[in-house]
Amino acid sequence: MDALNDKKQLRTLGTTNQIRGLLTILRNKETSRADFIFYSDRLLRLVIEEALGYLPFASQDVTTPTGSVYNGVEFTGKVCGVSIVRAGESMENALRASCRDIRIGKILIQRDEDTGLPKLFYSKLPKDISERHVLLLDPMLATGGSACQAVEVLVEAGVKPDRIIFVNLIAAPEGIQVMTERFPEIKIVTAEVDEKLNEKKYIIPGIGDFGDRYFGTLE
């Protein structure tokens, strides 16, 4: 964990009681779907806001209603979101709540039954995505396979790796290691880093299948 904290690419939310409290609710298997959605949305908004802080800004002076000059900043580029379908779509509302009229693309990646590797099935991206900073959205980072595949799709579309911020809620150390070694220029913003992956590649202690719990598709 100490080695992960040394990675300049990795940003986590502060370990405040509020963050820990929200994560406790989400991790509890007894939490109702309604509460899971409500508290997920709260935490997702916080993670999105944290990620937005790593976009480029420049100085801007403005005059306040008192006639005083405030030395502020303004965002200097264009940004869009790209969700990894399906769980990543749960993060779109939080992004729209933070960035009015933001454009959002989608990437669908599924495991190939023959090779066991992630395979691209569908992508729809803004035509000018190569000119934008991209918030790549997926609430869980486990092995890093799907996330790396999504980054490759963005790079092939002309997005510079240093303009990609991968935003999620829970990350496994193994996935972080894979992503940061393969793409040393991207940033990862997450709420919390968990202990490990188990033999089934599930994040431990984890949160379960986020998409199933959020969208109500548990069996």
pLDDT at 118: 81
pLDDT at 110: 84
pLDDT at 111: 74
pLDDT at 2: 47
pLDDT at 83: 97
pLDDT at 102: 94
From CA 215, how far away is CA 125, in angstroms rounded? Answer: 23
pLDDT at 219: 54
Q: What is the mean pLDDT of residues 84-96?
A: 94
The residues spanned by each domain of the chain are: 2-215
pLDDT in tens, 123-174: 999 999 999 999 999 999 999 999 999 999 999 999 999 999 999 999 999 9
Per the structure block, which two tokens stand in for 55? Answer: 């976009």
Q: Rounded to 5 degrees, what angle do the CA atoms 57, 70, 64 make?
A: 120
pLDDT at 186 over 60: yes
Which residues make Cβ contacts (< 8 Å) with residue 138, sequence separation at least 6? 83, 84, 87, 88, 91, 146, 147, 150, 166, 167, 168
pLDDT-derived band of residue 7, with 50, 70 and 90 as boundaries?
low
Torsion of the alpha carbons at 205, 115, 177 and 182, rounded to the nearest 10: -150
pLDDT at 158: 97
pLDDT at 44: 96
Share of the chain above pLDDT 70, in %: 94
Q: Kindly report the pTM of this predicted structure.
A: 0.92
pLDDT-derived band of residue 114, with 50, 70 and 90 as boundaries?
low
Q: Per-residue DSSP letters for the chain?
A: -HHHHT-TTEEE----HHHHHHHHHHH-TT--HHHHHHHHHHHHHHHHHHHHTTS-EEEEEEE-TTS-EEEEEEE-S-EEEEEEETGGGGGHHHHHHHSTT-EEEEEEEEE-TTT-SEEEEEEE--TTGGGSEEEEE-SEESSSHHHHHHHHHHHHTT--GGGEEEE-SEE-HHHHHHHHHH-TT-EEEESEE-SEE-TT--EES--S-HHHHHHT---
pLDDT-derived band of residue 31, with 50, 70 and 90 as boundaries?
very high
Evaluate whether the domain defined by 2-215 bears CATH number 3.30.70.20: no
pLDDT at 84: 96
pLDDT at 94 over 80: yes
pLDDT at 217: 83
pLDDT at 183 over 70: yes
From CA 70, how far away is CA 162, in angstroms rounded? Answer: 30
pLDDT at 14 over 90: no
Q: Please give the positions annotated as active site.
A: 111, 115, 209, 212
How many other C-beta atoms can be found within 10 angstroms of the C-beta atom of residue 72? 11
Mean pLDDT score across all residues of the chain? 92
